[in-house]
Structure 1
Amino acid sequence: MSELLATFAQALQLPLERLPATSFPGMGALPSTFAVSDLASASIGAAGLAVADLLRQQGVPAGSLSVDRRLASFWFASSLRPMGWAPPPPWDPIAGDYATRDGWIRLHTNAPHHRAAALQVLGPCEDRDSVAKAVSQWDAEALERAVVEANGCAAQMLQLAQWAGHAQGQAVAGEPLVQLEQFDAQGVQGWRGSRAQPLAGIKVLDLTRILAGPVATRFLAAMGADVLRIDPPGWEEPSLAPEVTLGKRCARLDLHDSLDRISFERLLAQADIFVHGYRADALERLGFGAERVRQLNPGLIDISLNAYGWTGPWRNRRGFDSLVQMSTGIAAAGQQWRQADKPVPLPVQALDMATGYLAAAAAINGLRERLASGRGSAARLSLARTAKALIDHGQVTTDLPLAAETGADLASQIEHTPWGPAQRLTPPLALAGTPMQWACPAGQLGASPASFS
């Protein structure tokens, strides 16, 4: 685990020698051929070290830092425990893995337009059985290509060695884990935070959806930031909103509407941190590419996430954690480890989660740099590059299983959400004097005005 944390700290340019040592109490691991619990603990630890470095810069010596690996593992699955209600199922009925003539493919159909794209290729299918029958007539690579060309989301299962030799795999291997860039100085601004809330007074514009970006901004909210999430009209995440909107206000804007574009430009100009998870070319096509964003806000800390990396033939490809696991060989390695007859993914959406915490760390680093020099900055991360870090860490023999969750793992206060009461797991990160805490409960998308508080 210390090896992964050192890898993350180096990628984030964190000065480990000037920061508190991080301990990882707890035993056990999520069941996987990859070190998923180590990944969870190390990525959350990296975000905590970024906070400690910010406090150090401001003359506030950080206290001890620890990450409970058991709680970190649980948080990588879900932090919310509803009381008397349940969110909708996380997957569309036809989403999942299917056998083709020559292998396996995963279809991601949670969004209605992605489902429509898959069925446009496969033909009219009423249920999983009819989808399976249609898929079985295809070769995996040909079906993947057809669904992607129809603007859908699919990934054939590749072996680790196949991905290493693939053009996109080679492109991702040549990218840094966190791509950092800084811009000309704009004038030093004062710190408005405190030990208890290091990001107090910081405005975060959140243009992210499932799942890495929302995890990043949830962590920033836990450190006191004012997070405003923007979604387009009609977009919903019924299974995820209770999990990831904690501490945020959520509004809607249509970036194709002239008046909403004006509102969005105003928010960009006011923001300190901008986190977005659009594909590499999507914001450019909307007229909000990097150059325009810097014109609106030269001192902005610009954090961008995508699925398959920032170079190579797939840089603009739609993707999600489960698809990246298929492409990069993780699901195939799991199948071999389990000696199963189908793909075996990681036990949680670990690529999303880890990338989210690393993105939060990059945002906090950008703030630290701006406080020192006034310079704006940009950082780029991708699920595929996080997958490489996990794969490079090596396959493992699963440790002792994690002890089962108990009532003692839950925070004592009740969170009153629009869906009903709930409890959260105790946060896994403990930084002395700097608790993970949120100013408001999870809320529905579009429930707030499009303005910072």
Structure 2
Amino acid sequence: MWPDGNDRGRIPPNMDEPLDELVNLVGLAKPVPGQVRIDGNEPVFPCRFPLASLSAAALAACGLAVSELWELRTGRRQQVGVGLRHAGASLLSFAFLRAPDIGIRGVSPTIGLYRARDGRWIHLHGGFPHLAAGTLRILGCGEDRQAIAKAVQGWDAEALEEALAQARLCGAVVRSAEEWFAHPQGRALAALPVVEVVRIGEGQATPRFVAARPLSGIRVLDLTRVLAGPTCSRTLAEHGADVLRVTCPRLPDVEPFVVDTGHGKLSTVLDLDTAEDMERLKHLASESDVFVDGYRSGALERRGFGPQILCALGRGIVYVSVNCYGHRGPWRERAGWEQLAQSVTGLAYDHGGTEAPALVPAAACDYTTGYLAALGALVGLARRAREGGSWHVRASLCQTAMWIHRRGSDELTAPRQASTHEAMITSRPSSFSAEEIAAFSTESVTAHGRIRHLAPALRLSETPPRWERPSAPLGTHPPVWPG
């Protein structure tokens, strides 16, 4: 299995602790000696946070969870392997996508760090056209970086943050970790684990059957956007689940993100403002095993698709909730992005310094949250198989950011690389060579043409992770489960 032909597992120094934490947190069986192998060492990125190690730990924990599901079906455990640098590259997966005529062409100046009148920094995020227009309306200026900087100078940072939130727009003040833990939202998350798996309903244990892959026969309904939620369902597709992504015809999206997170999925369009499509979604949900909700907390629940409502269907479901600010506290219904989670929790403050905060050079909160949510879903499926019932998985970008921050160490500090949203999405990351990325990549033939993209970073001894379906444009498929 392993590249050097050696079947002995090994985990680099300081890697066993985060993996053990996740194993204990979600109640996985402790791996037997030699079962897990993680190749490589930090630092991978030029920052004091072990971004690649935590990604690798989350992926290895997913591998152990898949192994448990496989053992339920076959009686056999699998060996689990992760390459540390491949796991790190996966935190910038969209940046390594090579597809004809697909890319991010220009970045709105409404996305970025700006200094306010009181000297504090705020990260604005007009990532979709309506968010950009609303941000400019609040600021009273045109879409020009200098004009925005001048307009932000007319506000105190927290006042602007609150004005944006009241208008259902996106922006976050850069805080230190100490400030975040003193904030009501930080306090609400402080006692929570990085991912939660809780029982929310009763039901019979699901039958176990032998199948070709660990998640063969599992249906995943994917109502998510951008990166974290779609990464969760893409991770489940790696192991044979049938994933159906559902999007709304009126909602914008980011095409490179759609392609990057669409591997292995079917994609359909439903308009929940119509009675007909509401009924279609209810029917799909009634036949699903996993439901992934990546919208603002409460948004789908108000439309009749919350965890308790779907749990009441009685067949046993794993409901996964993914958002930015967490599922408790005064900010639980605020929309957010990777950059805002980094800003509020202390990552940007500690990475760039007090005078010039900066993003860490990876979308570490988004992708790692996706892996952690997938871990929760896998554990929920195993519990459903053993014990029955319905299970609720909760993960958020801010809980992940806080987990990353706790693992920071000055021992990792290399020359720090400050990053911006624009640099992250428009240039090939410098931490990886072209030869490395070629080794980590695979090709797919899609409706977009032949594309090159990262392959799964996780390795398993019996059922190598792979995507059976190519990434498809939104709305390609009818709203039905495959036969």
- TM-score (ref. length: structure 1): 0.93
What is the alpha-carbon distance in structure 2 between the residues aligned to residue 258 and residue 181 of structure 1? 32
Q: Is contact 2:442–2:454 with CA below 8 Å preserved after alignment? A: no
- 2:414 matched to 1:397? no
In the TM superposition, what whole-angstrom CA distance separates every residue of 1:124-157 from its partner, at most 9, and x where no partner exists? 3132221111111111111111111111000011
Partner of 2:113: 97
Residue 428 of structure 1 aligns to which amino acid in structure 2?
A: A
Partner of 1:223: 239
Q: Is contact 1:192–1:201 with CA below 8 Å preserved after alignment? A: no
Give 1:184 shift: 4.3
Q: Is contact 2:200–2:311 with CA below 8 Å preserved after alignment? A: no
Partner of 1:159: 176
- SS of the counterpart of 2:39? coil
Partner of 2:365: 351
- SS of the counterpart of 1:116? helix
- 2:386 matched to 1:369? no
Partner of 2:330: 313
- 2:68 matched to 1:53? yes
**Against the structure 1 CA distance between its residues 264 and 320, is the aligned structure 2 distance closer, same or farther, given a 3 Å change threshold?**
same
- 2:444 matched to 1:427? no
Partner of 2:347: 330
**Against the structure 1 CA distance between its residues 16 and 402, is the aligned structure 2 distance closer, same or farther, given a 3 Å change threshold?**
farther
**Against the structure 1 CA distance between its residues 91 and 245, is the aligned structure 2 distance closer, same or farther, given a 3 Å change threshold?**
farther
Partner of 2:249: 233
What is the alpha-carbon distance in structure 2 between the residues aligned to residue 294 and residue 90 of structure 1? 43
Give 1:245 shift: 0.6
Task: Structure 1: state its 5+ residue gaps.
Answer: none
- SS of the counterpart of 1:220? helix
Q: Is contact 2:73–2:209 with CA below 8 Å preserved after alignment? A: no
Partner of 2:27: 13
What is the alpha-carbon distance in structure 2 between the residues aligned to residue 136 and residue 306 of structure 1? 30
In the TM superposition, what whole-angstrom CA distance separates every residue of 1:14-47 from its partner, at most 9, and x where no partner exists? 1215586322112341111211111111111111
Partner of 1:41: 56
What is the alpha-carbon distance in structure 2 between the residues aligned to residue 211 and residue 90 of structure 1? 19
Give aligned-pair identity as a percent.
35
2:469 to 432, 440, 447: 440
- SS of the counterpart of 1:52? helix
Deviates further, 400-409 or 32-41: 400-409
Q: Is contact 2:437–2:454 with CA below 8 Å preserved after alignment? A: no
Q: Tell which has more relative contact order, 1 or 2 (C-alpha 8 A, sep 6+).
A: 1
Partner of 2:306: 289
Q: Is contact 1:26–1:70 with CA below 8 Å preserved after alignment? A: yes
Q: Is contact 2:35–2:78 with CA below 8 Å preserved after alignment? A: no
- TM-score (ref. length: structure 2): 0.88
Deviates further, 8-17 or 399-408: 399-408
- SS of the counterpart of 2:412? coil
Task: Structure 2: state its 5+ residue gaps.
Answer: 1-14, 415-429
Residue 253 of structure 1 aligns to which amino acid in structure 2?
A: L
Partner of 1:201: 217
- SS of the counterpart of 2:330? coil
Give 1:86 shift: 4.1
What is the alpha-carbon distance in structure 2 between the residues aligned to residue 281 and residue 120 of structure 1? 27
Give 1:202 shift: 0.6
Residue 78 of structure 2 aligns to which amino acid in structure 1?
A: G
Q: Is contact 2:188–2:328 with CA below 8 Å preserved after alignment? A: yes
- SS of the counterpart of 1:204? strand
- SS of the counterpart of 2:392? strand
Give 1:188 shift: 2.9
In the TM superposition, what whole-angstrom CA distance separates every residue of 1:330-364 from its partner, at most 9, and x where no partner exists? 1000112xx8x522112111111111111111111
Partner of 2:129: 112
**Against the structure 1 CA distance between its residues 35 and 417, is the aligned structure 2 distance closer, same or farther, given a 3 Å change threshold?**
same
- Structure 1 runs (4+) deviating above 6 angstroms are none
Deviates further, 365-374 or 147-156: 365-374
**Against the structure 1 CA distance between its residues 83 and 251, is the aligned structure 2 distance closer, same or farther, given a 3 Å change threshold?**
closer
Partner of 1:213: 229
Aligned ranges 1:118-137 → 2 under 5 Å: 118-137=135-154
What is the alpha-carbon distance in structure 1 between the residues aligned to residue 476 and residue 186 of structure 2? 40
Give 1:89 shift: 3.8
Partner of 2:5: none
What is the alpha-carbon distance in structure 1 between the residues aligned to residue 432 and residue 128 of structure 2? 35
What is the alpha-carbon distance in structure 1 between the residues aligned to residue 361 and residue 209 of structure 2? 40
Partner of 1:388: 402
**Against the structure 1 CA distance between its residues 20 and 249, is the aligned structure 2 distance closer, same or farther, given a 3 Å change threshold?**
farther
Aligned length: 449
